[in-house]
Structure 1
C-alpha cells in the first residue's frame, strides 16, 4: 500500500443512508430488480435531492474486514443487509421540500422491502474525498458500517473516525471515499407502514464508509494489507463491530440535482 504525501481536503455534504432488506417471500432478484426499476422512479422524482444512489450488496457477504480482537467483523446472517439507499440533499431544508413524494415512497416500500431503517447525521457532516483522477472509473466498492463500543463517548468515537478516514484517504489505494457519522437512531423519523423497523440497541450503527477501488483485485489487496490491519487494531478500543460488505452495483439515479433518464454505474 502506497502513501500519498498530499492531504486531500474532503467536500462536506448533507447525506443520509437507508439500509434495506428485501422481502423473502419472493426471489431476491425480483426485489432487487423492483428497487432498481419502479421504486427508483418514485424516489428520483423527490424534490431537493443533490444525488440519489442505490448501493446493491452482494448476496453472499460474510464480511471483508480483517479479523480484529474484540471486534465483530463477521456479518450475522440474520441481520445481513441487501442494499442501501444513499441520499444527498441540496440543502438543510431539502427534506421538507420532498415530503409529498416521500409519502408515495412510504406506500411503495411494502412491495419490495421487509425492513428499512434511516440513519442520518448533522447537516454537512458527511465527507467526500475526491481521490480518482478526472474520468477515472471506480471498478469495485465496499460499504462499511461501524458500531461504537459501549462506554465510549460519541465525541471520542467521532474524533477517531475522522482520523481513520483521513488515514484511509492517504493510502493511495482508494478511488472513492465517502463517510457518514450518525445521530442517535429514532424510529419515528422513518416509520413507514407495513414494513419492519426493528433496530435493537446492540445492533445499531454509528458511522459508515464507502470505499471505491480500481478493480476487485485492488479491493481484495486492500482488505488483506498489513496497513489496514494496523488501522483496525487502533480502531478496536472505539468500535465493537465493523461490518464490511462487498458492493455488487452502485447505481446513480439523481446527479447534480437532476434525475437521470437512465441510471449511471
Structure 2
C-alpha cells in the first residue's frame, strides 16, 4: 500500500447519474448525449472539466459478493451514465446559469431520469496514482450507500482513511477519483419533464472512479484478496456497493478549454 497518497482537491464537482429514455434505442440516446447535449454543457462558463462516463448496458455489479452488502445492481435503478462536471471555483455556477437553463430544456430529448449529487466544497479528490505513460483503458464506477445508523462523519472517515488507501494498494491504478456527497435534494437539479425520483433507500453517499491499464488488470483487481478484505471491513459502514463496468469515458472540456474533439 502506498505510504502517502497524493491528491488534488477540486473546489466543486457535480456528479449526475443519468438514465436514457426507453422509448427509443439505447444507442441512439447515448449518441445524442455525446453529440448535441455535450455541446450545450461544454459551452457553460466556469467549467474546469466536463466528462461523460458511459456505462455498459449489461451491468450486474463488479464488486465481490459480501455478506450484508448489496453488490448486485438492481435492474430498475441501473444507471446508463454519469456526467462529471468540475467547476473552476465555488462561484462558477453563477456565471453558467444561462447555459444551464438550456441544458435543463434539452434533457427531455435524451433522458428519462437525472439526479444530481454534490459534495461539500473542496471534498472531491483526484489522486496522483498513474505511472508515467500509463493511461486508463478500463474503468469502474463505484457508488456506496451509507448504512443506516452510521454517522456521516464516521462513514466519510472510513471511506477516505481506510477504504481508499486499501483500494489504492490493491492493484496498479491509472486513475483514482473520489467524492463524498451532501444529503441529496431534488431542488438542486429539478429539470422539467424528467423524473427525479430518488427514495431514501436508493440514495448514495460516496463514489469512486477507478482506472486500469486494461481489462485484465481490472479483473485481477476485483478478484484480489486486498479488495475482499476491504469489502469485509466495509460491511460495517455501507449497505450497498454498486460497481459499474465503464464502456467509455469521454472528456469534452479540459483545463477550462473546450476540446475540438472529445478525448477518451
Common fold by TM > 0.5:
yes
| Matching residue of 1:171 | 170
Number of residue pairs the alignment of both structures matches: 262
Aligned 8 A contact 2:141 2:243 in 1? yes
The answer to whether the 8 Å contact 1:141/1:213 transfers is yes
Residue 205 of structure 2: aligned partner: 206
How far the C-alpha of 1:45 sits from its partner, in A, is 0.1
Aligned to 1:7: 4
Contact map agreement 1:35 1:112 (CA 8 A) in 2: yes
Q: Does residue 105 of the first structure (1) align with residue 103 of the second (2)?
A: yes
Aligned CA RMSD, in angstroms, stands at 0.9
Match status 1:161 vs 2:159: yes
Q: Tell me the TM-score normalised to structure 2 length.
A: 0.97
List runs of 5+ in structure 2 lacking aligned partners.
none
Deviation of 1:172 (Å): 4.4
Once the two structures are superposed, residues 3-37 of structure 1 have per-residue CA deviations (whole angstroms, 9 ceiling, x without a partner) of 44x42211111211000000000000000000000
Cα deviation digits, residues 50-77 of structure 1 (max 9, x gap): 0000000000000000000000000000
Supply the distance in 2 between the matched residues of 1:28 and 1:190 (Cα, whole angstroms). 23
C-alpha contact 1:7 1:170 (8 A) present in aligned 2: no
Q: Deviations over 1:76-120 (max 9, x none)?
A: 000000000001110000111111000000000000000000001
Shift in Å, 1:139:
1.0
Q: Deviations over 1:213-265 (max 9, x none)?
A: 01001001111111100000111100000000000000000000011010000
- SS for the counterpart of 1:86 is strand
Structure 1, unpaired ranges of 5+: none
Contact 1:129–1:169 (8 Å) recurs in 2: no
Which piece of structure 1 moves more, 245-254 or 171-180? 171-180
1:170, 1:231 → 2: CA distance? 11
Q: Check the 8 A contact 1:118/1:189 in 2, yes or no.
A: yes
8 Å Cα contact 2:166/2:226 also seen in 1:
no
Return the alpha-carbon distance in structure 1 between the equivalents of residues 71 and 80 of structure 2. Answer: 17
